[in-house]
Amino acid sequence: MNQTVSVGADARGDSAAVGKPTSPAAADAPIAMDGFAFIGEVRTHLTTILGFAEMLADPKLALTDRKRAEYGEIVAASGALLAERIERRHEELRPL
């Protein structure tokens, strides 16, 4: 479930980089949309992690060892993707 968010001059509303002037309101719109995309990614990964963790913890499901291992790998992979995406966003927002 790896999603890609476009980040660059257009996504941040950097008018100097794309060679066309923008109003302050127009410049803020792409930043807000990028923020919504980021939140959507975070929610997707968290939903995956929480859902599979809940299934792993449910004794009524009587999961096989193979299924437990598979679900554990999904949780770990989603956690790694989430951590990576948060780190990238942190780097994007960090002042130069």
Tell whether 4 is covered by a domain: no
**pTM, entire model:** 0.62
Q: Is 25 part of a structural domain of the chain? A: no
**Does residue 11 sit within a domain?**
no
Domain span at 42: 31-93
83 HSE (CA, 13 A, CB side)? 6
17: exposed, middle or buried (Cβ count in 10 Å: 0-12, 13-18, 19+): exposed
Over the stretch 38-93, which tens digit does the pLDDT of each residue have? 999 999 999 999 999 999 999 999 999 999 999 999 999 999 999 999 999 999 88
Q: Could you give the number of structural domains in the chain?
A: 1
- List, for residues 35-49, the tens digit of each pLDDT value: 888 999 999 999 999
Residue from 45, 53, 44, 47 nearest 71 by CA: 53
